Structure 1
Amino acid sequence: MSVTAKDRDILARTLWGEARGESLSGQIAVAWTIRNRVNDGKDNSWWGEGYAGVCQKPYQFSCWNRNDPNYAYLTGARSIPFREFAQAQIAADQVMSGKVPDPTGGATHYYATTMPEPPNWVKGAKETLKLGRHVFFKDVP
């Protein structure tokens, strides 16, 4: 699959919106979760097609919801701080190019531990990693 400049930009913006307070390793883990959705091997995937399609599909990543406080930054209405966005771009580049292994063990889901309670989909899913303020899962029913 070819990766476009738009894919890189949308993935980096998603990483900033979802995990800007995380280390580079934490952002790489979130990026791998997105890559695992992109590469799920199914035609016309439910997740969406390509990085931009997966990231911006409604209700997959809350930072792209119009009522989310991050949305104005992701759409360019407000400026993302340079250093924070640069780290997200590094994470995006490393994951899209395959320069770093998947620390999540194939996760397709995660949630932030700052949520009041875990989402319902964790029941029956296999936890693969806890890193920073995120918990990662695969085999989500």
Structure 2
Amino acid sequence: MTETEKDRDILARTLWGEARGESLAGQIAVAWTIRNRVNDDQDKSWWGEGYTGVCQKPYQFSCWNRNDPNYVYLSGAKPIPPGQFAQAQKAADLVMSGAETDPTGGATHYYATTMPKAPAWTVGARQTLKLGHHIFFKDVP
């Protein structure tokens, strides 16, 4: 897998859209769920191929949905406010380079605790971590 600057940029934009209010550790955890999908060891992964393919897989990361208020920033139609993007870029770099280990224990899913109730997919899944406003899972049926 070739990790390009586009992959880094798309991963950082996804982190900004999904977890900009989180600490660096929280953004690293979200980035690891993406990396775990990227590295699923399948030739043609359902998740998509590479960081860009995984992040922009339809309906997987809501910030990329065209009706999401973050989309205008992620697509470049509006600039991300200055100073808000640096932490997401740092988290993307740390995870893509392997400088930070996976705090999620192999999670491929998470949801925000700000949701009114847990998503249906959590039934039967194994919770691996709660950090900031996110709860992480693996072995999702």
TM-score band, normalised by shorter chain:
over 0.9
1:53-100: CA deviation from partner (whole Å, max 9, x where unpaired) = 000010000000000000000001111122210100000000000000
Q: Hey, what does 2:59 align to over in structure 1?
A: 59
Q: Is residue 2:4 matched to residue 1:8?
A: no
Matches of 1:128 and 1:85, distance apart in 2: 27
Matches of 1:65 and 1:77, distance apart in 2: 14
Q: Hey, what does 2:36 align to over in structure 1?
A: 36
- Which 4+ residue blocks in structure 1 deviate beyond 3 angstroms? none
Q: Hey, what does 1:133 align to over in structure 2?
A: 133
- Matches for 1:30-109 after TM superposition, within 5 Å: 30-109=30-109
Which residues of structure 2 form unaligned runs of 5+? none
Normalised to the residue count of structure 2, the TM-score between the two structures is 0.99
Report the 3-state secondary structure (helix = DSSP H, G, I; strand = E; otherwise coil) of the residue aligned with 1:128.
Answer: strand
Which residues of structure 1 form unaligned runs of 5+? none
Matches of 1:114 and 1:102, distance apart in 2: 23
Identity %: 79
Report the 3-state secondary structure (helix = DSSP H, G, I; strand = E; otherwise coil) of the residue aligned with 1:83.
Answer: coil
Q: CA RMSD in A?
A: 0.5
